[in-house]
């Protein structure tokens, strides 16, 4: 069997609009997960400390960090503020 390059594999797997949208959503989610982690690390806060700053339970913080795309903009702004950061929104037209 001939090896398949990542580029070709990606092309084969993303052969429908639905697959491309799911891939893009996963990219956004992974980027948001990385951003939340980066903010918390930059602030040198562990989960318990950050949860305390947000006045939520550590379990609620874990749920937020596992599903950031399900959070409201207000919640994400509170998270950023508790880490000494801010969030800005960019709009891109296709």
Radius of gyration of the chain (CA): 17
Q: Which domains are assigned to the chain?
A: 6-82 (1.10.260)
- Indicate if the alpha-carbon torsion angle 15, 70, 67, 38 is positive or negative: positive
First to last CA, the chain: 39
The pTM score is: 0.73
Cβ-contact 33, 79 below 8 angstroms: no
Per-residue pLDDT reduced to its tens digit, 3-17: 878 888 777 777 787
Per-residue pLDDT reduced to its tens digit, 34-87: 999 999 999 999 999 999 999 999 999 999 999 998 999 999 999 999 999 999
């Amino acid at each position: 069997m001939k090896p398949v390059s990542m580029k070709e594999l990606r092309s084969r797997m993303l052969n429908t609009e639905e697959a491309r949208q799911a891939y893009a959503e996963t990219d956004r989610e992974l980027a948001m997960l990385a951003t939340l982690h980066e903010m918390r690390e930059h602030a040198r806060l562990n989960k318990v400390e950050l949860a305390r700053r947000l006045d939520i339970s550590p379990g609620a913080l874990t749920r937020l960090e596992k599903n950031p795309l399900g959070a409201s903009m207000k919640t994400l702004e509170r998270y950023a503020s508790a880490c000494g950061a801010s969030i800005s929104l960019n709009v891109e037209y296709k």
